[in-house]
């Protein structure tokens, strides 16, 4: 199952849990595979709902997981100023849920990219189920052609993996049509000193991410947008309690309820590591280490 990926951790950086690690292209891809290249049923089962978003939802009293996923996605559509016929790109498209939702509900024409090939058949089947005009491709964002194509580009909890975030913004600038929108959601450290944390909980989160989690502060992300000629249109804060609920009432509950089946698609060690990583994340939220924002910005010429 996952044994072939274990050597990834043998070369784990050992100087504390330093963030902003730089890897060559191949090593980064293998490291990302450590987290994402598992049987898709693992993530589909844990995330649940109709859209299987592996990212925080936005909750209201009495919401189901599907409603909470859609509430977040509708916020994205508003921030992207989405209208029928718009060409949009989802960078880090997971298992296709968000892109298919936008194409199905808002009439967009979508292209999703990922570095995780096992997710592609699931995304394509979802597009077919909804008759959505959405295509999917395995490609690292650095290899995307620099052609003005899209009215909107978005990411949801993906840029944490990008060491060169400024380079990513420059790439998006080159792919957006004039006045196009870029919308990114991510957790942000509430203080820059948090990146030096070396406690065992942070170490565990880093291990599960194979040391590809480059959390930043909000101010750093805003500065990089400015430097890459994006005009900030909205910084929409989502209270961390929405993430707590997504993990506690959704993902951890699904892990408990479907443990037997999950252990058929992955190893007991991976199951335990993943469960512990979710619990460590909740601890970090309680400590006030993170805030969460969707940042909408517009391409300046
Ligand atoms: C936390 S998941 C989020 C998935 C999706 N956005 C969602 O909300 O359900 C991160 C995704 O980013 C993708 N990813 C990570 N690094 C990437 C890169 N350099 N280029 C393209 N996709 C990447 C992974 O393959 C995975 O699909």
Q: How far apart are CA 294 and CA 80, in angstroms?
A: 11
Distance from first CA to last CA of the chain, Å, rounded?
48
Is the model more confident about 90 or about 163?
Answer: 90
8 Å CB contact between 201 and 280: yes
Per the prediction, the chain carries an average pLDDT of 91
Q: What is the DSSP string of 80-135?
A: HT--TT-EEEEES-TTSHHHHHHHHHH--EEEEEES-GGGHHHHHHHHHHHT--EE
123 CA → ligand 1 middle, Å = 13
Determine the pLDDT at residue 32: 84
Mean predicted confidence (pLDDT) in 276-282:
91
User: Is the minimum distance from the CB of 158 to ligand 1 under 6 angstroms?
Assistant: yes
CATH superfamily of 3-82+159-299: Vaccinia Virus protein VP39 (3.40.50.150)
Q: Rounded CA gap, 238 and 29, in Å?
A: 30
Q: Identify the residue whose C-alpha is closest to ligand 1 atom 6.
A: 156
Least reliable range by pLDDT among 85-89, 98-102, 189-193: 189-193
Q: What is the CA radius of gyration of the chain?
A: 18
Residue 103 burial class via C-beta count within 10 angstroms: exposed 0-12, middle 13-18, buried 19 and up: buried
Q: pLDDT digits over 219-244, tens only?
A: 999 999 999 999 999 999 999 999 99
- Of the pLDDT bands very low, low, confident and very high (cuts 50, 70, 90), residue 22 is confident
Q: In the chain, what are the domain boundaries?
A: 3-82+159-299
CB of 53 closer than 6 angstroms to any ligand 1 atom: yes
Q: Which residues on adjacent β-strands are paired with residue 114?
A: 138
Predicted confidence (pLDDT) at residue 13 exceeds the cutoff of 60: no
Residue bearing the bigger pLDDT, 42 or 208: 42
**Choice between 111 and 301, residue whose per-residue pLDDT is larger:** 111
pTM of structure: 0.93
Among 98, 159, 161, the mutation site with the greatest number of ligand 1 atoms within 8 A of its Cβ is 161
pLDDT at residue number 17:
46
Average pLDDT over residues 154-171: 95
pLDDT of 16 over the 50 cut: no
Residue nearest to ligand 1 atom 23, measured at CA: 92
Residue 20 has what DSSP assignment? S
Are 135 and 110 in contact by the 8 Å Cβ rule? The answer is: yes
**Burial call 268-280: b when 16+ CB within 10 Å, e when fewer:** eebbeebbebbeb
Does residue 277 or residue 84 have the better pLDDT? 84
Higher pLDDT: 3 or 32? It is 32
The residue-averaged pLDDT of 140-152 equals 96
Rounded distance, CA 135 to CA 155, Å?
Answer: 16
Pocket test for ligand 1, best of 24, 92, 100, 102 (most atoms within 8 A of CB): 92
198: confidence class by pLDDT, cuts 50, 70, 90: low
């Amino acid at each position: 199952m996952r044994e072939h990926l274990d050597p990834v951790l043998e070369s784990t950086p050992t100087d504390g849990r330093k963030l902003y690690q730089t890897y060559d292209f191949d090593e980064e891809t293998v490291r990302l595979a450590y987290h994402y290249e598992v049987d898709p049923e693992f993530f589909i089962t844990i995330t649940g709902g109709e859209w299987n978003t592996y990212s925080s939802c936005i909750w209201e009293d009495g919401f189901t997981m599907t409603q909470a996923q859609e509430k977040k996605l509708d916020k994205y559509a508003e921030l992207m100023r989405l209208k029928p016929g718009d060409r949009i790109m989802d960078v880090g498209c997971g298992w296709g849920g968000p892109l298919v939702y936008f194409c199905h509900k808002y009439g967009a024409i979508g292209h999703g990219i990922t570095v995780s090939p096992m997710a592609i058949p699931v995304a394509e089947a979802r597009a077919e189920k909804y008759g959505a005009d959405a295509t999917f491709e395995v490609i690292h964002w650095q290899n995307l052609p620099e052609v003005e194509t899209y009215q909107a580009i978005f990411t949801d909890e993906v840029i944490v993996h990008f060491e060169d975030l400024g380079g990513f913004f420059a790439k998006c600038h080159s792919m957006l049509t004039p006045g196009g929108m870029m919308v990114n959601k991510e957790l942000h450290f509430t203080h820059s000193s948090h990146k030096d944390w070396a406690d065992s909980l942070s170490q565990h989160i880093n291990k599960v991410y194979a040391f590809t989690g480059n959390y930043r502060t909000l101010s750093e992300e805003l500065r990089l947008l400015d430097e890459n000629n994006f005009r900030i249109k909205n910084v929409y804060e989502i209270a961390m309690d929405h993430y707590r609920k997504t993990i506690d009432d959704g993902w951890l509950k699904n892990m408990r309820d479907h443990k037997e089946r999950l252990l058929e698609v992955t190893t007991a060690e991976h199951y335990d590591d993943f469960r512990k990583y979710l619990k460590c994340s909740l601890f970090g939220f309680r400590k006030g280490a993170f805030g969460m924002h969707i940042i909408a910005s517009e391409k300046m010429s």
